[in-house]
Amino acid sequence: METITHNLIAVYIQILCFQFLLFPFNVIFTIIFAYISHIIVDGFSIITYHTPDAHKDDRFWLIWHIIIYALSGVSIVIFFIPFWLSIISANIMDLWDWFIARPIQRRKKKKDPESKWKNPLYLHSSVDWFRQKLLFWLPRLTYKKVGVVIEIIVILIFCILLVPYYI
């Protein structure tokens, strides 16, 4: 799923951990639960419109990604200062895989294009395991535009859950 979804869930996790647990357990469990939430949320990404490759020629794909990236940026601006711990914990998997592990793999393939080397550093392999073992029964909507509705619903649910903490 998208960054805004990870951020909203992470914020809610930190609120609950800090509300119900004492220091240092609130910090420890925020980190653990936010990280695990990434695995669970990404596991469910197969029921959302989440193409693994860019479709810049598709107008719907472009509009959806402009909107979702803008909302993700807004969520970072709004929530990062008070909830940096959970946001970083929930997104560390993407930060590592997209900005460290994938460039390493690209560099290896550039040196040896024939290489079948797969990057053993990917953290998303845990997501793949979770999805294959527990979510195999879900429909695959990865390329179906109707999948945006599911992600929008999840985003709205967590926005509604966060309202009492901001009023």
Q: In the 8-state DSSP scheme, what is residue 98?
A: I
Tokens 């119900």, residue?
20
What integer pLDDT is reported at residue 52 of this predicted model?
Answer: 83
Which is nearest to 34 in space by CA: 45, 50, 52, 18? 18
Locate the DSSP E strands across the chain.
none
Domain count, the chain: 1
What is the residue range of 96's domain?
A: 3-165
Which pLDDT does position 106 carry in this prediction? Answer: 80
- Look at residue 118 in the predicted model and tell me its pLDDT: 67
pLDDT at 114: 74
Regions of the chain where pLDDT drops below 50:
none
